[in-house]
Amino acid sequence: MSEADTPLRGVGIVYFGNDWNAENRTSSHHVAERLARVLPVLYVDSPGMRAPSANGRDFKRALRKLRAALQVPELIREGFWRCTVPQLPFRRIPGVEAFNRRFSRWAVRRALRHAGITRRISWFVVPHPGFLAGQLDEELCVFYCIDDYAAHPGVDMALIAQRDEALSRRADLLFVAPPALLESKRALNPSTLFAPHGVDAALFGRAQDDGTEVPAIVRGLPHPVIGYIGSIHEWIDLELIAWLATQRPQWSFLLVGHAAVDVSELRALPNVHFTGAQPYQELPGWAKAFDAAIIPYRLNRQVANANPLKLREYLATGKPVVSVRNAEIEKFAQWVGIADDRDGFLAALDSALADDTPQAAALRIASVADQTWDHRVEAVLDAVAQKLAAKHALSNKIPSSEFQPGTP
């Protein structure tokens, strides 16, 4: 969709997402990048969701970010800016919550003036800054829900759940990526649409290219190589990986990503190898080294409601995939080995390695070929344009005849 031929003409987006410079590239980043190709976007780094610790480290960190928020927005590229709007921790201290609200509103408005975005849509990918919905003179409020945020480990669960629900009700348009959350969100907001994750199919397809180089440090690993790409957090079943590595000592287990938890027991195993965080554009080279890819999540509420990005990314590489079960992953059961316990996971890996063929790889790639981020964002923007047109027509700000989606 071209911005010039829709109701979005002259409108920009103030986008509240995860830390722009985070090592792990999430849907927050993928969607924002593509929105910025057709609309001006101010990307707002939102504060973390975890409950703050009662120590000076958190307070000093917040003060550093407050100072950073006084700087003008960073220009990422033409029409795409980034700023940070932190909050003071210790919300139970009298006055802190009121300060956070007033400061955030002032800082975002200041950044919007610098970017020259006078007409705007507020777009939330995380719920905790949702108190700004309706406070920015926006013409439309979008909540793009990509996770069960209150189920994340270490967060202020009560606060995040409350803000998630409030923003879900307040949004003019609510997109939901995890299928397990769709019905509960529709009960809160009738303007709810399913918006599954996409994939950079062209990028991850490079894992099949002869010209893609495998990083030197893994070229000598014994095969088969069982690979994982992504951050290693509390929701990764480290005990499962350790058990698999012990059961198959002749296999290599390659874990590509930042380890945010203690992985010392895994590091002690001679056939488990960690690479640390790697640049997003270089991930196909690491995936090329895999003989099979795994999604070894713990079976908890967060995972039950998840829509894992790596599922489609793995399939786009053509590599066999073995995963735990959830509602979204089950949709790909034709191409993914799904396991319900340790023995089942190991058996699925054995089968995946034994049954892999070039024809099977081609089918896996084809299964996600039409699910690109470009297609996903185009569909989302169509829905936003129609909602904005309807809202303008209803308020009689502009005659509805002037806002026919897809026409000049």
Q: Give me the residue spans of the domains in the chain.
A: 3-198+372-402, 201-368
Q: Can you read off the two tokens belonging to residue 325?
A: 């079960």
Cβ atoms < 10 Å from Cβ of 360: 14
318: left (phi over 0), alpha (psi -120 to 50) or beta: left
Res 304: pLDDT: 80
Q: Which CATH number does the domain 201-368 belong to among 1.10.10.10, 3.40.50.2000, 3.90.1170.50, 3.30.70.1450?
A: 3.40.50.2000
CA dihedral (223, 314, 325, 154) positive or negative: positive
Angle (CA) 273-279-281 rounded to 5° is 115
SS3 of residue 261 by DSSP: coil
Residue 301: count other Cβ atoms within 10 Å of its Cβ: 12
Does 224 sit behind a cis peptide bond, omega within 30 degrees of 0 on the bond before it? yes
Which positions of the chain have pLDDT values less than 70? 1-5, 47-69, 86-92, 396-408
| Residue 355 half-sphere exposure toward CB, CA atoms < 13 A | 13
**93 Cβ neighbours under 8 A, 6+ residues apart:** none
| Dist CA 146 CA 320 (whole Å) | 25
H or E stretch at 294: strand 292-295
Quick check: do 3-198+372-402 and 201-368 share a fold? Answer: yes
- Cα separation, 307 vs 290, whole angstroms: 22
Cβ within 8 Å of residue 352, ≥6 positions away: 292, 320, 321, 322, 337
Q: Class for domain 3-198+372-402, per CATH?
A: alpha beta
Measure the CA angle with vertex 348, ends 347 and 353; round to 5°: 100
CB 215 within 8 A of CB 289: yes
Helix (H, G, I), strand (E, B) or coil at 259: strand
Q: How many whole angstroms separate alpha carbon 196 and alpha carbon 247? A: 35
Its pTM stands at 0.85
Question: 3-class SS at 235?
Answer: coil
Q: How many other C-beta atoms lie within 10 A of the C-beta of residue 268?
A: 9
Residue 51 DSSP label: P
Helices (H), 220-271: 238-247, 264-267
Q: What pairs with residue 122 in β-bridges?
A: 14, 141
Of the candidates 317, 289, 285, which has an alpha carbon nearest to the alpha carbon of residue 225? 289
Burial (Cβ within 10 Å: 0-12, 13-18, ≥19) of residue 225:
buried
